[in-house]
Amino acid sequence: MNNTGFRLAISRRPYPERPKVTAAWIGSGGTVTEVDQFWTRPNLPARHTKIYGNSLFSLTLASAMGLELVTPSNRLLISLDFKWTKRFIRERCVSEISFNKGPLFVKPVKQKLFSARVYKCSIDLQRECCGLPVDTRVLISSPLSFRSETRAFILNGRVLDCATYRGRTSLTRARRFASEFARHNDLPFTCVIDVGEIGRGGWAVIELNPSWAACLNGCDAVRVLECIKTATQVKGNEP
């Protein structure tokens, strides 16, 4: 791909994937600008600026520049058929969660409010959510054990690249499952899907993430650059 004329805005603070992404961006003809005071509008042309970095940096900068970041809703997981998730996922207020039947996987509906993981009891969760309103919305499900976890970058229903970042598995099978899921579900035109292998050769969707903030987790920066580029849009524009 050719990024001539496009600028990638990144944070000056360390970000694990920054060297690979910036090298790929410059290699494709684009330029890179490190932004320090990202809460104020930098002197950058919005129409030709793309954003990559953590959620706080990217969302704040996008708002200051009048840009939109393509982001899959966490609520999308609730709408998925059981054959894709292999677990029942429900939405609750954090104050409504009961651990009577054992540990639960809890994930905030609003991204990055707190750590999405398995919580053993209400005290464990309360420590993590200390200071949050009792009506904070979360997704809950029974814990599911994954033998491996694979990340796939999606653009218009196609897997541009994928890599297994935890455990060992057949990358061909992981890619096939991610591709089938992307083709049969209404997803944003660009996003990142994490899929996992469970017992007896089964597969399940773990979560969906935005391309503009997702770590590569072993994926090739050059191959997924189009996902990162198109994840930043001028408000009101289609890709």
| Confidence at residue 162, expressed as pLDDT on a 0 to 100 scale | 98
Give the pLDDT confidence score for residue 239 in this predicted structure.
54
pLDDT at position 37 is 82
**pLDDT recorded at residue 201:** 66
Contact call for residues 39 and 60 (beta carbons, < 8 A): yes
Amino acid of residue 7: R
Q: Which pLDDT score, from 0 to 100, does residue 130 have?
A: 86
Tell me the DSSP string of 170-192: -HHHHHHHHHHHHHHS---SEEE
Sorted by where each begins, the domain ranges of the chain are 7-70, 88-141, 145-209
Mean pLDDT, the chain cut into blocks of 10 residues (239 residues total): 92 85 97 89 92 92 95 90 93 90 88 85 89 90 92 98 96 97 96 92 91 96 97 78
What pLDDT shows up at residue 161? 98
Pair of tokens at residue 166: 């935890």
* CATH number at 145-209: 3.30.470.20
What is the structure's pLDDT at 237?
63
- In this prediction, residue 143 carries a pLDDT of 87
